[in-house]
Amino acid sequence: MALIAPSLLAADFLNLERDCKMVNESAADWFHLDVMDGLFVPNISFGLPVIEAINRVATKTLDVHLMIEKPERYIQDFKAAGADVLTVHYEASTHLHRSLQAIKAEGMQAGVALNPHTPVSLLKDVIQDIDLVCLMSVNPGFGGQKFIERTYDKVRELKGMINEAGSNTLIEIDGGVNTDNAPKLIAAGADVLVAGSFVFRAENQIGTIAALKAI
């Protein structure tokens, strides 16, 4: 049974409070919040004031995924906005180890996200410092894209690396997750499943979250 993290990128922003309350009442474990700067990814989503507002109504862990250049500039700000897990991209971080320590010094869990083209082996020397690795199973920037099948092998390889290091690092999968690929992802070693459009485009959102949670 994995942790389920609905991505609010696919929520109805005119009814954000309603959608947050739906997640509160559902079997979901975390809120997944996608921050995009229009530079690291070719899209702009939402930022600090929106997360602050979500934090006022959300009763579950806020899992903030920063798709921004030089994320180390904003670590304290996202802590103040309510982030519990803060994930930076490997590809956007020149001094990744320093950023991870800074996130943990603020009392948050430290995550690292990898783009589909980035090999998991690049995390070998820092895996013990990472609370969560977010494997992107689509190219970051947009919801509703097709799941990249190669991800299963990356999950298995990463799981092996984590076990070998004796680390507690969680593996999160982000992009194109649904009830078809979730069983195979969990079998490969995934701990956290992010789902955006699969949840929010469903007629029965609570039921869809429950179905993912039951896998």
CA distance 147 to 181: 8
Contact between 89 and Zn ion by CB under 5 A: the answer reads no
34 catalytic residue (yes or no): yes
Closest approach of ligand DX5 to the CB of residue 35, in Å = 9
Q: Does the annotation place 160 within a ligand binding site?
A: no
CA 86 to each of CA 33, 63, 104, 131, 211: distance values in angstroms, whole numbers, following the listed order: 10, 6, 9, 10, 27
Label the pairing between strands 109-114 and 85-89: parallel
Q: Does 65 bind Zn ion (CB under 5 A)?
A: yes
Smallest separation (angstroms) from Zn ion to the CB of 106: 20
Query: CB-wise, 189 or 196, nearer to Zn ion?
Result: 196
- Which among 40-48, 152-160, 167-175, 202-210 is the span making contact with Zn ion, rule CB under 5 A? 167-175
Nearer to ligand DX5, 145 or 179 (CB): 145
Residue 40 interacting with ligand DX5 (CB under 6 A): no
**Residue 46 zone, left/alpha/beta (φ > 0; ψ -120 to 50; rest):** beta
User: Is 34 one of the binding residues for ligand DX5 (CB under 6 A)?
Assistant: yes
195 binds ligand DX5 (CB under 6 A): yes
Residue type, 92: A
- CA distances, 89 to each of 114, 147, 210 (Å): 6, 19, 29
Closest CA relative to residue 60, chosen from 103, 10, 4:
4
> Exposure of 12 by Cβ count < 10 A (0-12 exposed, 13-18 middle, 19+ buried)?
exposed
Among 6, 8, 11, 34, binds Zn ion (CB under 5 A): 34
Q: Does 111 bind ligand DX5 (CB under 6 A)?
A: no
174 binds Zn ion (CB under 5 A): yes
The residue within the footprint of ligand DX5, chosen from 174, 190, 208, 212 (CB under 6 A), is 174
Q: Is 77 a catalytic residue?
A: no
189 lies in the binding site for ligand DX5 (CB under 6 A): no
DSSP β-ladder status, 3-6 and 30-36: unpaired
CA–CA dist 69, 123 (Å, integer): 19
Which of 47, 71, 82, 143 forms a contact with ligand DX5 (CB under 6 A)?
Answer: 143
- What residues line the site for Zn ion (CB under 5 A)? 34, 65, 174
Active site residues: 34, 174
